[in-house]
Amino acid sequence: MKYAETIVDLVGNTPLIKLNSVTDGIAATVLAKVEYFNPGGSIKDRIATRIIDAAEASGDLLPGGTIVEPTSGNTGVGLALVAQQRGYKCIFVVPDKVGEEKRNVLTAYGAQVVVTPTSVAPDSPESYYSVSDRLAAEIPGAFKPNQYFNQNGPLSHYESTGPEIWNDTDGTVTHVVMGVGTGGTITGTGRFLREVSNGGVRIIGADPEGSVYSGGTGRPYLVEGVGEDMWPGAYDPGVVNEVIAVSDAESFAMTRRLALEEGLLVGGSSGMAVVAALEAARSLPADAVVVVILPDGGRGYLAKIFNDTWMRRHGFIGSATAERTVGDLV
Ligand code: PMP
């Protein structure tokens, strides 16, 4: 008999899939690491498992405890899934800009969702940061994972994502490209791959135009899950060779092409990472092996990136950039 003991045992070991169409004109091999194969549908299942394991080991999370975190998406799903399997409660604090569908996913896994107003300053008592801090302080047995600073985030990628890429490419990987949100993925994956290759693997970040990682101030962008307006403790700039800024228009056009041409229905941060990966790969020789990480699936974005009305309203269809890359979708 072949079966998993629990759903949590299926986190990680995601496949590499060669990109064949969007890579037209590129000599290097470009391989996508497709993280929607994780049971919760995103790369964040990895950090949830590691963070909860570590909190149990340190005694920060005791049997029957409550996990409290400000999160609107993938981290919440990962935490809820692991928490449910191990008998913890979850309370997620989300700003009201987060759509009902996303909140419903969290409650479907058994989490409680507390909604806070988006249009308040981060230091307001009503902000989602303040409310989650208050709940974590008031609820007995509460544990706050604090994904932006928890070092178990990067560690989970050091122990899983990095080794998987090295092993699945038989050590031939030359470049890895990934989006930067909390910075956990790039810090852990990058650190492992640099160490194992003695600095031979080039680590490239992809960042929304305007975010701090590519020199901005946090100007708003619409791609979700990546970019920042502050410097999180989960990010170590020392492991990153280069950061490539990508516009929303380019990210979303590529996200659509991945579904249409490669059969990969993925989220906007995946499109963003592929734009950066192709930019890096364009000048590389045929023996280069570029791995690009696709963090989540596209179903959570059907009403946005895959909706013509939304795309048109934000100027992504009909604009010069979108027309150039979306082609006959315009
Ligand atoms: N893409 C998506 C959709 C995400 O949810 C995240 C996590 N915030 C990332 C990319 C970036 O990962 P990290 O936080 O490890 O930098």
Give distance in angstroms: CA of 164 to centre of ligand 1.
Answer: 18
**Helix (H, G, I), strand (E, B), or coil: what is residue 162?**
helix
Active site residue 44: yes
In order along its 330 residues, the chain shows pLDDT tens digits of: 999 999 999 999 999 999 999 999 999 999 999 999 999 999 999 999 999 999 999 999 999 999 999 987 899 999 999 999 999 999 999 988 787 888 999 999 999 999 998 888 878 999 888 999 999 999 999 999 999 999 999 999 999 999 999 999 999 999 999 999 999 999 999 999 999 999 999 999 999 999 999 999 888 889 999 998 889 999 999 999 999 999 999 999 999 999 999 999 999 999 999 999 999 999 999 999 999 999 999 999 999 999 999 999 999 998 544 444 443 333
For residue range 30-65, what is the model confidence (pLDDT) as tens digits? 999 999 999 999 999 999 999 999 999 999 999 999
Catalytic residue among 2, 18, 33, 44: 44
Element (H, E) at 94: strand 89-95
Question: How far away, in angstroms, is 1 Cα from ligand 1 center?
Answer: 35
Q: Which residue's structure tokens are 């030359």?
A: 174
Write out residues with Cβ below 6 Å of ligand 1.
Answer: 42, 44, 73-74, 179-185, 224-226, 267, 269, 295-296
The CA 225 to ligand 1 mean position distance, Å, reads 5
pLDDT of residue 295: 98
Q: Which atom of ligand 1 is nearest to the CA of 47?
A: 15
- Assign 3-class secondary structure to 163-207: HHHHHHCCCCCCEEEEECCCCHHHHHHHHHHHHHCCCCCEEEEEE
